[in-house]
Amino acid sequence: MYIHNIYVYFPAKDITEIEEGGNNISGVKDIQFVKIENDNAIFTVDSGNYSFESQLKLEFNPKGFN
């Protein structure tokens, strides 16, 4: 039997910004948080069907524009 880790990257600065099936991702047993890196939340997921949504708030920096 082979076990593979599937890594999923979400654009997010915090895991509270990510939902699966309309619920916070932290409550889904088949999804495990790994880390936050470069404005991405990284998770491993078990096989299955998922519906993800991420709410990364982008900041516009007009530096250099008049």
Closest CA to 33 of 16, 57, 53: 16
C-alpha to C-alpha distance for 54 and 62, rounded to whole angstroms: 24
C-alpha to C-alpha distance for 35 and 8, rounded to whole angstroms: 11
Q: What is the pLDDT of residue 42?
A: 93
| Boundaries of every domain in the chain | 6-52
pTM of the model: 0.71
C-alpha to C-alpha distance for 2 and 26, rounded to whole angstroms: 26
Q: What is the pLDDT along the chain (66 residues), one digit of tens a residue?
A: 566 678 999 888 888 889 999 889 988 888 999 999 988 899 999 888 899 888 766 666 666 555
Q: What is the pLDDT of residue 63?
A: 67
